[in-house]
Structure 1
Amino acid sequence: MTSPSLSAVSQALQVTRNRPLAEITVGESASLERTLNYEDIQLFAILSGDVNPRHLDREFARASGFQDVAAHGMWGGALISAVLGTRLPGPGTVYRSQSLRFLQAVRVGDTLTVTVTVTAVDTDAQVVTLACLGVNQQGATVIEGVAEVHAPTEAIEVSHSALPEIRLHAEDAGLERLLSQVGALAPVRMAVVHPCDALSLTAALDAGRNGFIVPVLVGPRAKIESVAAENGLDLGDAEIEEAPHSHAAAARAVEMAGRGEVEALMKGALHTDELMGAVVPSGAGLRTKRRISHCFLMQTPAYPRPFLITDAAINIAPDLQTKADIVRNAIDLAHVIGVAEPRVAILAAVETVNPSMPATLDAAALCKMADRGQITGGRLDGPLAFDNAVSPSAARIKGIASEVAGLADILVVPDLESGNMLAKQLEYMGDASSAGIVLGARVPIVLTSRADSRESRLASCAIALMLAHHFRNAPP
């Protein structure tokens, strides 16, 4: 027997065929499967105008006694319509009536299988009656009912329509929501190290005006005042701690933090190595038992929640023990920003353990450490490739059954190079907004980049503010 050509298979996948009335028999059925994500709920709310907070506001849903937000009931009804219109009877079908009973909520991450089964065919009236059933991944019936449709009398074959790609930009989501969360917190004293260029000095003063920090400018007074005058910046009553050069400024700022005179540090116009070189020595008084690491907090329109990437700025090629501290630091940050039990994806190029790929071995070991209580506070899984860490459909296609796959809150990268490239690709090609913070020291440290936007700098200071307040009650 001759196999069909690839072009023939491709063409078959791109067309939809119906079942004409004369061919439909009682008992035949058709199904489709769909996994709900938060974007589905948002899109349905936009299209229908139903902005009931039961479906959109997680805090409201939980305060009302529900586990989490749930899909609108008619989201399931729309899936039934999709089966009728594309599979049975298919193109040419016209709805006549529909009755539905909603028996159980469909929540984010649930997979709903919708099936329609023919129960009666009236050829004179050209009406087909179908039983409708929606079952979740646990086998529970969540929706049931009966539909009556006018079935097409002629065979129809149509090509699939090309649909536009849609990306949601929620006005109060992600980093903007983070800024609103710190409104009730009193500003903390932050040493801004060597703010001797317009960008770093502007960032410090801006964060001060927004009530996140009380900036303490550490560096040469004459240079700081000159930069302010040249760029029209008002120093107001900002405190300036004299230091003759960047190296001395880093040492003085760290000394102030060690003595409790400031509760956070921010990098100004000096190299990261110079600042961190002053932080790392044990004599500086800022080290903890943890390895110091960096986290990016990111939000992109293509993902339904903010997420962390770590470590993309401090540890170049971390070993297993360093990675364990990187994970612990990220989990602590997730708790502070309101994620009670973050889902941690340990990334590698593949989702299977391969002795030739050290990142997969580290991932497996980290997960076992979590199983044995050496890492707590989050749910770990790995190795996971990037696609099945953030895409439920990719994880499902590859047969990965996991509480983390497709729903990650934290992405732990194998090394600094891969993490830095991932973060910058998301920022410059994925419309992601970001903030960054250094963890593992006794005070939070903001590492600004000359390319950072104003929003990114403010969000980084907001995270530092939240951490500083948290450290007052739970010192690292």
Structure 2
Amino acid sequence: MLPPLRYDDLEVIRNRTFDEIAIGDSASIERTLTAADIQLFAAMSGDINPQHMDAEFAASTRFHGVIAHGMWGAALISAVLGTRLPGPGTIYAGQTLKFHAPVRVGDTLRIAVVVTSRDEATHHLTLDCTCVNQDGRTVISGEANVIAPTERIERPRGTLPEVRITVGDGLHRLLQHVRPLGRVRIAVVHPCDEPSLCAALDGQSAGLIEPVLVGPRNRIHALADAMQVDIGALTVEDVPHSHAAAARAIDLALGGKVAALMKGSLDTDELMSAVVASALRTGRRISHCFVMQTPPYPRPFIITDATINLAPTLDEKADIIRNAVDLAHAIGVSVPRVAILAAVETVNSRMPSTLDAAALCKMADRGQIAGAVLDGPLAFDNAVSAAAARVKGIVSPVAGCADVLVVPDLESGNMLAKQLESLGGAASAGIVLGAGVPIILTSRTDSRESRIGSCAIALLLANRSVPAAVAKAAT
């Protein structure tokens, strides 16, 4: 049997010497598989088999989804032997393994070893090894042969090094996808500060846009000279101020001379108020989508609406979802999984966001919101973590694998998006949908990658047919 837990076990790592170990002694740990675990193991081992890395490919295999590398479980057996029984000083002599079932993201394994024999002469131990999932199914079994330490080792317990996975090649793949479409002609509204002019030039240099600069000509050229950039080949629509720039850009869009708009140095409210008051407004509620990719999550996802709609009504949320579904289709998600977020995952009459979520799901059931699978209310962790959903007993095609996150209001959405960017290492691009043309809302804090990603999405949307309902309302 194992010795009783000591209060310093969380601060100290210690072994058990050969003489202290008897047949039948055991030790175990528990570990829940995350998408980051798979990515880390692939980076360490070099095993980028698409069965583990490519959700679309994995869905077509006999496992019907991404599974962990088999040796990830084997590494956990090594962790038990090296840290618990016998512990530090253990030398591996041999290991057999049998793989009985796949391990998926969200599965929780209990990894256990039991001493079955000991050799006094050589200090060898044989241990039975098992990895059992949350359903009680053995996924890995085997037998380890180790040389146990003969001297006591006791050291301060170290902490695992911080490992940050760089967000994948999503931008590269997006650019490869959209570049054959050519360039989209975009009106850049009042690009009179360095970030907004840089955004236009970044999109141009990436081969995605043909910018039309709309604003005071002298001020724009003075800015370009100060930045030491050449804009001589660009079209400049000379207008006296930001209000006139917004009006002229909208006229260019309505006249078919540009296929998208990009915000410059004017306020978002100023541009969007002009759009809403113009013929660019359609029968669809205008909303904003962030397309984000963060290291721990295995796929890009959309957050909406974190920028435009302050406290949307039920009908407005329905349009916000329709816009996000259109965007998801455009970026290649054929049937997006839409999670309607709230603070809790149950309907509560005192929490309007949960009532809206339930109503929106029923609207989807009745065909009022098409082209996606909806579920809600879902708390954020249940929407993105299969393990959290399982702990809460949530059985859902959306929970743990959402493609779209619909937030209750602008404040919660804006905080969520900025937290993911600032603390979660997320890369993002943004676009406004629901108007007659896509609109890019740049920010002074946007990275170059974010600007280019937003241009790529605008190019993609500008080359797709406008949804029938929007087209009808625009005519």
Fold shared per TM-score above 0.5: yes
Q: What is the letter of the counterpart of residue 166 of structure 1?
A: V
C-alpha distance after superposition, 1:320-367 (max 9, x if no partner): 221222222223222322334434332223333332222232233333
**Conserved? CA contact 2:194–2:227, under 8 Å:** yes
Matches within 5 A, 1:342-353: 342-353=336-347
Say whether residues 1:272 and 2:268 are aligned partners: yes
Task: Give how far 1:155 is off.
Answer: 8.7
- List aligned pairs for 1:8-407, cutoff 5 A: 11=8, 31-58=28-55, 67-88=64-85, 93-120=90-117, 126-136=123-133, 141-151=138-148, 160-170=157-167, 172-281=168-277, 284-288=279-283, 290-407=284-401
Query: Compared with structure 1, are the counterparts of its residues 70 and 394 closer, same or farther at alpha carbon in structure 2 (3 Å cutoff)?
Result: closer
TM-superposed deviation, 1:156: 7.8
**Amino acid aligned to 2:269:** D
Match of 2:438 among 436, 439, 444: 444
Aligned-partner Cα distance in 1 for 2:144–2:333: 42
8 Å CA contact retained: 2:253, 2:259: yes
Residues 439 and 445 in structure 1, CA contact (< 8 A), matched pair in contact too: yes
- The C-alpha deviation readout for 1:188-211, integer Å capped at 9, x for no partner, is 111222223333233223312321
Distance 1:397 1:69, change over 3 A: closer
TM-superposed deviation, 1:430: 3.8
Structure 2 distance, partners of 1:11, 1:379, is 49
Q: Label 1:356 to 1:157 Cα distance change in 2 as closer, same or farther (>3 A).
A: farther
Higher mean displacement: 202-211 or 51-60: 51-60
- Distance in 2 of aligned mates of 1:369 and 1:318: 16
Change in Cα spacing, 1:404 to 1:83, as seen in structure 2 (3 Å) is farther
Identity %: 65
**Structure 1 contact 175–434 (Cα < 8 Å) conserved:** no
Give the root-mean-square deviation of aligned CA atoms.
Answer: 3.6
Structure 2: distance between partners of 1:16 and 1:324 = 54
8 Å contact from structure 1 (residues 286, 443) kept in 2: no
Per the alignment, do residues 94 and 206 of structure 1 end up closer, same or farther by CA in structure 2, a change over 3 Å counting?
closer
Q: CA deviation at 1:292?
A: 0.9
The DSSP-based 3-state class of the residue aligned with 2:465 is: helix
Structure 2 unaligned residues grouped into runs of 5+: 471-475
- Give distance in 2, aligned partners of 1:379 and 1:29: 45
**Contact map agreement 1:191 1:266 (CA 8 A) in 2:** yes
Q: What's the CA shift for 1:317?
A: 0.6
* Cα distance change, pair 17–466 in 1 and its aligned pair in 2 (3 A): same
Q: Which moved more, 1:393-402 or 1:67-76?
A: 393-402
Q: Deviations over 1:360-402 (max 9, x none)?
A: 3223333343344433444433333334444455445555444
8 Å contact 1:264–1:443 — kept in the other structure?
yes
TM-score normalized with structure 2 length: 0.83
